[in-house]
């Protein structure tokens, strides 16, 4: 089991300790520059957890397949295609809603991609552990009961 905590800047000490008490790996996601919890300090943002993967704004913009300008053009095109030419410019709230939805979808895609990467790493660890266990068992069956010592 893997616990996933989004908006980790909102987790205070009490909640953070409760989450750790499960003894399960925790993936925390969030921006440490966001608002702190209502009470106390951010449990996961006070000090960087280990291991810690960070992605700054430059990384996210470099990875983004489309720019905000492209999103806006796509929003205008799609809205006009569905509701008639010029409709998007007359209803800018639809462009904003479209762009907000696209940003949420993009954020979800980034999280899904990160989880896929973590899953792959965990599968690699599982394979290594399984291989080491099988090797140890095979070795124990091939050694004589006295450990190979001469009597």
Is the whole model's pTM more than 0.95, yes or no? Answer: no
Residue range 88-124, pLDDT digits in tens: 989 988 888 888 877 777 777 778 777 877 877 787 7
In contact, 84 and 71? CB cutoff 8 Å: no
Domain range summary for the chain, segments of one domain joined by +: 1-54, 65-151
Give the Cα separation of 63 and 113 in Å (integer). Answer: 12
């Amino acid at each position: 089991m893997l616990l996933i905590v989004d908006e980790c800047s909102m987790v205070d000490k009490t909640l953070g300790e409760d989450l750790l008490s499960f003894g399960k790996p925790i993936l925390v996601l969030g921006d440490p520059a966001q608002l702190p919890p209502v009470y106390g300090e951010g449990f996961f943002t006070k000090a960087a957890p280990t291991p810690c993967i960070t992605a700054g704004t430059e990384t996210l913009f470099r990875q983004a397949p489309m720019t905000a300008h492209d999103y806006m053009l796509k929003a205008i095109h799609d809205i006009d295609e569905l509701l008639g030419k010029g409709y998007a410019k007359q209803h800018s709230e639809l462009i904003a809603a479209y762009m907000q939805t696209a940003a949420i979808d993009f954020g979800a895609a980034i999280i899904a991609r990160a989880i896929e990467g973590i899953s792959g790493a965990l599968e690699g660890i599982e394979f290594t552990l399984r291989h080491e266990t099988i090797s140890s068992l095979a070795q124990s069956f091939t050694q004589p009961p006295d450990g190979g010592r001469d009597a």
